[in-house]
Amino acid sequence: MTQSGKSLRLSGMTIGLGINSVDYYKKTAYGPTYETDISDAQVKKQGKAIANQVIKRLRQRRSLKNIPIIIALYKQASDDSLVGGNFFAYSMNDDGETKVAKWDKINQKNYVFPLQSDKKGPSQNDADSFDNFKSEIQGFFPNLSGVTAQAQYTDGSLSGMNISITTQFYSQTEIISFTQYIQNAAQRYLPANAPIDITVSSTEGIQSFLSRKQNEKKFSAHIFNSY
């Protein structure tokens, strides 16, 4: 939006289109659910076809005829996926264009750490760093319920990591002590030069949150009060 006198004027738009990677269907109304994988080639083909329909319809609206429109294509993950989907292409459409002229590739993939034995990630060093971090905090606090991470890679390099830690701690003293320990272990073991968020929670909710922005060395921490 841009200011025009006392009013606002739409100056651009971004649209994300989610494309299924698995087709779920029933043969009878109350029967079992079947699934069929949709190939990457078909996902791309359908996504680009839908994008052309969308931009054509948008341009029919007077307020959208002459603004730049960005369309991004997102591949939906299967229902049982732990990592979610990923964007795989985008297009910048200048004023008045009613059809996508050019697509740019987005090389983005998500992984869950620790990796399953039959899975291979883009960086063994990152996987090992997380495993060492996990072993360190579980060795000191063995009654943790779980330590997992979702890592995102762009063009083969780590672009972000979200770590979830589930505890069985309920006293404020335990939470403070554990958060301080995580802070030190994270700075020691986790990959450098990438933004990382760590959420510590229990069945009662979020207990603490730690974060480090890209190119920063230290993690900041916030402990939520319990009542």
Contact 131/124 with Cβ under 8 angstroms? no
Domain edge (last residue) among 72, 89, 106: 106
- Work out the pLDDT band at 118, boundaries 50, 70, 90: low
Highest mean pLDDT among 6-20, 72-86, 152-166: 152-166
Let me know whether 85 and 116 are in one domain: no
Same domain, 116 and 219: yes
One domain for residues 134 and 85: no
- The residue among 62, 84, 106 that closes a domain is 106
Q: What is the pLDDT of residue 86?
A: 92
pLDDT over 90 at 72, yes or no: yes
- Kindly state whether residues 113 and 218 are assigned to the same domain: yes
Section 65-71 average pLDDT: 93
Query: pLDDT confidence of 157, banded at 50, 70, 90?
Result: very high
Indicate if 8 and 23 belong to the same structural domain. Answer: yes
The Cα–Cα gap between 165 and 206 comes to 10
Q: What are phi and psi of 195, to 5 degrees?
A: -65, 135
Strand-strand pairing, 69-75 and 13-19: parallel
Which of 106, 122, 144 is the last residue before a domain boundary? 106
CA distances from 77 to 38, 50, 158, 164 (A): 11, 18, 20, 20
Residue range(s) defining the domain that contains residue 141: 109-223
Q: Please check whether residues 37 and 98 belong to one and the same domain.
A: yes
Q: Are residues 7 and 20 located together in one domain of the fold?
A: yes
Domain count, the chain: 2
> How far is it, in rounded angstroms, from Cα 173 to Cα 140?
16
Quick one: what percent of the chain has pLDDT higher than 70? Answer: 96
Q: Are residues 60 and 162 in the same domain?
A: no
pLDDT, position 178: 92
Looking up residue 174, the CATH number of its domain turns out to be 3.30.300.190
pLDDT score at 117: 67
Asked if residue 28 has pLDDT above 70, the reply is: yes
Do residues 121 and 173 both lie within one domain?
A: yes
Mean pLDDT in residue range 169-179: 87
Amino acid letter at 54? Answer: V
- Mean pLDDT, residues 128-140 taken together: 93
In the three-class reduction of DSSP (H, G, I as helix; E, B as strand; rest coil), residue 54 is classed as: helix
**How far apart, in Å, are the Cα atoms of 49 and each of 66, 102, 164?**
21, 13, 38
Share of the chain above pLDDT 90, in %: 64
Contacts with 30 (C-beta within 8 Å, 6 or more apart), sequence order:
none
Find residue 14's DSSP bridge partners: 70
Residues 126 and 102 in one domain: no
Q: If residue 22 lies in a helix (H) or strand (E), which one and from where to where?
A: strand 22-26
pLDDT at 209: 97
Residue 96 predicted with pLDDT over 90: no
pTM of the model: 0.77
Question: Are 114 and 217 contained in the same domain?
Answer: yes
Confidence check: pLDDT of 120 > 80: no
- DSSP reduced 3-state for 200: strand
Mean pLDDT on 170-199: 92
* Whether residue 160 sits in one domain with residue 123: yes
Residues in the chain: 227
